[in-house]
Every structure is written in structure tokens, then in C-alpha cells.
Structure 1
Amino acid sequence: MSEHRRLRFADLGFAMLLGVGLLIVFGALDFYGKQLQRQALQTEEHLTSRDLRHADEQLGHLFRHVDLQLRTLLEGGHAYFSPDDWSRQLDYALLNAPHLRSLSVLNDNGEIIASTSSGNIGLRPAFAHYLPQPSTISEVLRIGPPHAGRDLADSVAITDNRQPTPAVGFVPVVRGLSIGEAGQVSLLATLNLDYLQRLLDDLRRRPTDRIALFRQDGVRLLDTDPPTEHQRMIERTLINHWQTGQSVHLSIADAYDDQGELTAYRMHSRLPLVITMQMDRTQALVEAHREGRERTAVVAPLALLGMAAALVGYLLFRFAGNRERKLRKQEEKRRKLLESALNASAIPAVITNREATIEWVNPAFASLTGFDAAEAIGRKPKDLVKSGMQPPSYYEDMWKTILAGAVWRGEVINRRKDGSFYDEALTITPVADDNGTITHFVAIKEDITLEKAAARELERLATTDPLTGSHNRRAFMEAVQHELDRVRRYETPASILMLDLDHFKRVNDEFGHAAGDTVLKHFVTQLGTSLRSADTLGRIGGEEFAVLLPETDLAGARDIANRIRTEIAARPAITDEARIPITVSIGVTIIHPSDISPDHILARADDGLYLAKRNGRNRVETVSREAPPTGE
């Protein structure tokens, strides 16, 4: 197909795409508007559920607080008060109870004997319509019907839901307490309707919302607004619902009615109370309709503008196609140039995917490891060069770093194809795509085998006595400090031997310094056969040596010292000129957790060595703070 014909088909396809796009846009706007309405209703249901639960908690808290007040007064010893005592207690309790209108005490006959309102004394309230039943006063909080009036003396009970919530009224609650043979005493409290009214008003989200509080028997205690006839009909339906057992679930979706009312109720789990809410569904959808219109007013012009922009973009796309192909060729050229540079580099380089599978290596990698590109690509570095010299935790830290997008630098010991080991300085850099997702890793390697060997040799020279091969004084003192720290932490025994060749100056004077050096090396060799692998030998100076004995108490150290002394005496040094017998004097001490420093320990061992010299040489002396020096 010619280029011209291909472009004609592309133009036709693009025009069809624009038409389909317009249909999709306006169809999406219609769908979006309906979706907004569904979401608004779902949100309203969720908020209503939350509001019902919150109202249930608020009212439940209030009634439980009243119940606690009454129970505290009854059980706190006040059941045996005289009427005058009761009056004082009730007046005091009412001071901090703005939700209560009055408090009254009833005797066993149901007669008020004390009250915060003197007009209530002598009344006999009827409790037949209080919930929960029975009609007699019991030791639970019982809620009566609403009353119109200021207090019990001038009030009238309201049991007809057609009557509106009185402007001045209260809801009575009563709680009794048995006092044994004396019968029972009860407290009757009247809750302010205006307090409950304010509580319900605070729970409304919109002025048009209506909240009502009922008892379980259907008696309305109060509401935020007088109900219309239609709302009364809905209330009767809801009452039938919860009285037939549907009292524990929120009923919202089933409560949409033909006149756009959204109604719901919630029944309290412990109290005989039910809260109902009625909302105007059209009010809930006002915001959805407004947002739909605003979205259409914005999206429709934008859609047309977008179509125009798409057309311009399509024309520009034709022009950009040639430019894109040109840039792609330039990018390919640059990639090949970079690859050639890496291939020519003497620094080994490896590129792997995210799973560490090798995708590319340069010739320097083959020179370092012995594996050429054909052997390496498709495999993982751990299958080629891993030596096992690093612990798993080392590689776990490395992966944690590079998977976090950070560059990792470190040194590893790897294995070549021929099995030989080499030291390597390794730098791994993560490579991420445009979305920030790591796709590859670039590893740059450097052979540092010679440098590491030189460093190890320098370390050996810095810590080793050049004549005897034992630790020098600095290295030995570091070992003693480490062991002192371990003794302090774990309270395990450890000991120190201080050794000095007897009459070593005579050897130098009679046979020469070369023979003296031979004797020192012979002495160290013999010591090596007598010591354990965990023991540390150090040359302190001249012919003076020290031995660190971990996990060894004073008695064990003395036995080792005697064995050393005996074996040294039994094996003279052989030189070209003579057979030179040698003996050694040894001071022994134990490391104490309270020792100040290694110098302090060696000074104590040196005291033992001094005793051995003074007491005749070729002997062992022990020095401990717990016991006086002993010799063998």
C-alpha cells in the first residue's frame, strides 16, 4: 500500500474516532450524572447510619448517666435517710444536673416522701405505662411517657402520638432499690424535654431533617419538628417494623417512599428507646444535580476543544513522525557508541535485569572472571563467581540497598572460572524506567587482589615480631584488652603468663647475637607445640614473652606454665657452634574483671616473673589478689 493511500485511510479512521469520541463524552456525562445521584444517596445512607449511631450513643450516654446518678444515690447509703436528709441530698445532686427538672424519693407504697420540688411530696405517680415492664417499681431504669407541664404536680401524661411535643414538659424515669425487710425505696427523675430537644437539634445535618425519639411501644417522647400527616403514616410503618422484630438493623434502602422521604430508625440495644430520622431525598440530591450541571458545563466545551486539539495533534503527528524516526536512529547510534566504549574499557562491567539475570557483559569481565559473554548471559552472577566467603546477611543488605533505588558499594571475594579467588571492589547502580520502577542493575567491578594482599602484608608486619613471628607488643596488648572486655561481660576465667629466658645475656655474650636470635626462634617454636590454638603468644621485648590463656583459671594456667617450663628445659637450642641449654622463668596471674587495663595485668604477671627470678629461676610463680604468691 502506497504512503498516500495509507494516510487517506488514517484520515478516515481519525474522523470516525472523533465522532465516536463525541458519543462517548456525552454518554459518559449522562452516566456520570446518574452515578452522582447513586453516590449521593449512598453517601446519605452512610451519613444517616452514622448519625443514627451517634444519636444512639448520645442518648444512651445521657440515660445511662441518669441511671448511674439514681443508682449511686440509692446504693450509697442514702436508702436509710430521713425525708429531710433526702431533700438535702437531692438538692445537692440536682445542682450539677442541667438535664434534670426534679428528683423525688418514693417509699415502699409508691408515695413521694422527699423531692426537690415541694409540690411533688405526697403524690403517688402511676407506673403502669413505664417501660420496661412490670408495672411495679424494679431495680432497673424505667422510662415513662412524656408529660406536659413543669413538674409532676401540674403535669399530664401524653400517650397519643397525634399530640405535638409540648413546649414545656419532661420525661419521667424511675429506679428502685430493695432494702430488705424494710421494703424498697425508689428515685424518680424528670428529664427536661427542652434539654433533649437541643440534643436532637444538634444532631441534625440540615434544617429540613426531622429526628424523633420513641419508646419501643411506639409512644413518641419528642421530635425536632411537628410531623405532617404523611410523616405520621411513615412513623406508623416504622413502628410496625421494629415491633415485628426488625429492631437491630438500620432500615434505609427500604424506606424510600413515593413522596421522596428518606427514613430510617435505630433501636437502642439496652434501653426501650428508638430513634427515627426523616430526610427529604430531593435535598440529598441537590448537590448531585448541581455538580452534574457544572460538570457538563465544563466537560462539553472541553470535549469540543479536545477534539479540535486532537485534530491539530494528529496533523502535528504526521510531521513529528519523521522527526521521531530521525531521533531513534540517533539514539541507536549513541547506544552503539556507548556499548563500544564499554567493550573497549579495561574496567569489567555487567548489566542484569531486576532478577539479577545477566543480559550483557564486556570483554573485561571475561578477562577478570574467565567467563566469556556466551557463558555469562542468561545466568546469574552468584552461579558464576560466588565464593561463599561472604555471609548471607552481606548480600541481604546489598539487595535491600539497591532495591530501594540507592547505589551500593562494597568489597567482595569472588571465584574465577579456574577456581581461584580474587578480591573485587564492586559498585551496583539501579536503573529505573520513566515510572521510577527499577528494571536493571549496572555493576562495575575492579580487581583489587593485589591491593588487598599488600594491605594484609602491611597488617601482618604491623602486628608481628619480625624475628620470631609471634605477636608484637602492640598486637598482644590489643588481644589482652579484648579478653579483658570478654571477662567483664561474661565473667569467664582467663590468665596471663609472663616468660623470660634465664641468663639470656650470657648466651649473647658467649655465642654471639646470631646464636641468641636462634635461641629466641627455637624458644618460640617450642612454645607453639605447648600452647592451644586459642592461646596468644606475644614478644614483649628482648627475651621477655607473654601468653594469653582464654578460658583458663589460675590453677590451669599454672599447669600449662609448668609444662612449658619442663619442655623448654628438656629441648636445648641447636646452633652451628653449640648445643645451648635454656630454661625459662614464668610469672602467672589471672585476669580480674576489675582490672584497670592490660598494663595493670601484665605488671601483676611481671611481679610473679620477678619472684621466679629471685627464687632461683627455672620456676613458676603465681600472683593473685586473692592469695599470696606461690612457687613451683
Structure 2
Amino acid sequence: MIVTQDDLSVALDKAPLAVLIVRQNRIAWLNQTLADLAGRPKGEFIGRPLADTPLSLWREDLVEVATPDGIRWFQRHSVHALPEGEAHYFADVTEQRRMIDELEALRQRLETLETRDPVTGLQNRRAILRELDRQISRSRRYENPLAVIRLSLEIDSDEARRRELMRTLSQALKDKLRWADEIGLLDDNTFLLVLPETGLEDARELAVKLLSDRAAVQLQDGEGKIRYGVAAWNKGDDLGKLLKRVSQDQEIDLSALLS
């Protein structure tokens, strides 16, 4: 049985793969599948320069096509064995592409979960300490001022109330900080504020201002208190030294301001 070129054309016309044959940069043939994807009759393409048709986009390795069913993606594969020409076929990789996009979205979500506290949405301990270490390196290099504030919420209420207060306080703190400032949690009850380009006295003034805001700190009478500590970076400080000094400074009781 002899298979003719016409037989191959009929078979390829019905193939699920899109097929394109180009000779001397002109479209020699395409199957019906590709014409349908391009949204035009086959006759409009045959003999025309490829660059003058919508199929010029199909020279990319990955082709994005808008269809009535949504965006579809096709991976181009080439065959260069034709005399004075080339053939391309395109495999539908839409599902694989969607899976890649979903995996990337999951990866980004996981990355966010790994750096964010689930209750407040603030940076967790690992993330805020990494940011502080970066700022210390910057201050060490350029001798820029840098200060930190450590705030601890000490209450005797149940877990639900603690979470409510931490969420309220975290939002209030974020609203009052500058765009360059960073805030995160050292533990379930302790905030760390990283203040670039800020000296010790300005940081103390900011701490008192934050904690004297009754709208921000909604503690009930006798419910508890908030303690704070402030420290500024000194030449020779590393992460451990700065954290130790701000922890030692955290002995001032501001409950009088909150009552």
C-alpha cells in the first residue's frame, strides 16, 4: 500500500497536534487544527509570508493562545529535514502550564507562611531577625543610626483575648510606623520594631507615643501591662549584642500610662 502526500495531509488535518510547514519563510501548509486555533480559514495562510500572518507568533518556543475556553499554551517542536524548509508541530501543554502556575502559587504561599505570623500577619521571629541583621550590616558599613524597640504584652486573659489584643496592637503599630521601618514578632507576646536612620532618643519618644495611644492599646483595668525596651546600634554591635541590650532595657513599666 502506497501512502501519498494527500493521504498524509488528510491524516495530519485531523491530528490533535497543530502542524505548520514553512518554505523560504512562506507558509507552505498547515493543518486544520492550527487554522482553527488561529481563527481563520486555511486558505488565508497558504503561500503568504509567515511574518505577515498571526502565525508569526507561533515561532516562539511557548505559544499563548486565547480561545473561547480560555488561555491555552502550546510547546513548539521543529523538524528541519525538509528540503529548503522546516516543519513545526505544537503540543498542547496547557494542563502542564496550569500545574506549574499552581505549584508556583503554592510555593509563594508556603514562603509567606514560613515568614509570617498566622495571628497578626507580621514577620515571624526568623524573618524579623534576618531583617535586623541586614540593617546592622548596613549600619556597620555606612555608620547610619539604627534603633530597635521591644514591646511585650503581659496579660492574664485567655488565649482568645491574647490573640485579639495582639492583632489590634499589631495593626496600630503598623499604622504608625514609617515605610522604612520593620515590625515582627520575637514570640507570641513580643514585638520587635526595627527603625533604620533612628537614634536612641527618637526611638524612646516613639515608644512612649505608641503606648500612650488608648485607641491602640485596649487593655481593660487590671488585665495586664505592656513593657518596652529601646536600644540603639553602637559600633561593634552584632545581632546578639543589640538584642541583649534591648532586652535588658525592657524593664520600664508603662501600665500607669495605660490606666
Kindly report which structure 2 residues correspond to 1:515-526, keeping only aligned pairs within 5 A, or say none.
515-526=161-172
How many equivalent residue pairs? 232
Q: CA deviation at 1:546?
A: 0.5
Alpha-carbon contact 1:497-1:587 (below 8 Å) kept = yes
Summarize deviations over 1:561-585 as a string: whole Å, max 9, x none.
2321222x564427xxx67776533
Equivalent residue, structure 2, for 1:606 = 247
Alignment correspondent of 2:17: 342
2:148 to 493, 496, 505: 496
Q: Answer yes or no: is 1:565 the counterpart of 2:211.
A: yes
Structure 2 equivalent of residue 589 of structure 1: 231
Aligned counterpart for 1:513 among listed residues 159, 180, 184 = 159
1:109-258 to 2 correspondence within 5 Å?
A: none
1:452 and 2:104 correspond: yes
Residue 378 of structure 1 pairs with residue 19 of structure 2 = no
After superposition, give the CA deviation of every residue in 1:70-128 in whole Å (9 maximum; x if it has no partner): xxxxxxxxxxxxxxxxxxxxxxxxxxxxxxxxxxxxxxxxxxxxxxxxxxxxxxxxxxx
For residues 145 and 65 of structure 2, what CA distance do their matches in structure 1 show?
41
- The runs of 5 or more residues in structure 1 that have no matched partner are 1-324, 344-348, 366-370, 382-398, 403-407, 620-632
**Residues 417, 537 of structure 1: CA spacing in aligned structure 2 closer, same or farther, 3 A cutoff?**
farther
Cα distance, 1:481–1:331 mapped onto 2, change above 3 Å: farther
Match in the other structure for 2:254: 618
Q: CA deviation at 1:378?
A: 0.8
Q: Structure 1 residues 606, 439: CA separation in 2 closer, same or farther (over 3 Å shift)?
A: farther
Task: Provide structure 2 residue ranges, at least 5 long, that are not aligned to the other structure.
Answer: 41-52
Contact map agreement 1:480 1:548 (CA 8 A) in 2 = yes
CA contact (8 A) 1:473 1:538 kept: yes
Amino acid at match of 1:532: R
Counterpart Cα distance in 2 of 1:426 and 1:493: 54
Cα distance in 2 for partners of 1:430, 1:561 equals 66
Contact 1:484 1:593 in 2 (8 A): no
Deviation of the 1:589 alpha carbon: 2.4
For residue 435 of structure 1, report the CA deviation from its aligned partner. 9.1
Provide the TM-score with structure 1 as the length reference: 0.30
What does residue 48 of structure 2 align with? Answer: none
What is the DSSP-based 3-state SS (H/G/I as helix, E as strand, rest coil) of the residue aligned with 1:470? Answer: coil
Q: By how many angstroms is 1:527 displaced?
A: 1.1
RMSD: 4.9
Shift of residue 467, structure 1, vs aligned partner: 1.8
Q: Does 1:328 align with 2:2?
A: no
The separation in 1 between residues aligned to 2:80 and 2:114, in whole angstroms, is 46
Paired residues of 2:74 and 2:90 also in contact (CA < 8 A): no
- 1:394-449: per-residue Cα shift (whole Å, max 9, x none)? xxxxx9xx8xxxxx79xxxx99799x9x9x99866666566999997968551244
Contact 1:572–1:580, Cα closer than 8 Å, also in 2: no
CA-to-aligned-CA distance 1:451-500 (integer Å, 9 cap, x gap)? 33332322222222122221111122222233334444554433322111
Given that residues 20 and 88 in structure 2 are in contact (C-alpha distance below 8 angstroms), is that contact kept between their aligned partners in structure 1? no
Distance 1:350 1:562 in 2: 72
Counterpart-to-counterpart distance in 2, 1:604 and 1:417: 62
Residue aligned with 1:341, SS = coil
Question: Structure 2: which amino acid aligns with 1:342?
Answer: L
Amino acid at match of 2:168: H
Q: Which has the larger radius of gyration?
A: 1
Q: How has the CA–CA distance of structure 1 residues 439 and 544 changed in structure 2, closer, same or farther, with 3 Å as cutoff?
A: same
2:181 equivalent in structure 1:
535
Give the SS at the match of 1:496.
strand
> Is the contact made by 2:229 and 2:246 (CA closer than 8 Å) also made in structure 1?
yes
The AA in structure 1 aligned to 2:229 is G
**Contact 2:9 2:31 survives alignment (8 Å):** no
What TM-score comes out, normalization by structure 2 length?
0.64
Please say if residues 352 and 441 of structure 1, whose CA atoms lie closer than 8 Å, have aligned partners that are also in contact: no
Counterpart in the other structure of 2:46? none
Pair 468,326 (structure 1): closer, same or farther in 2 beyond 3 Å: closer
Distance 2:179 2:32 in 1: 46
Structure 1 residue matching 2:204: 3-state secondary structure: helix
Larger helix proportion of the pair: 1
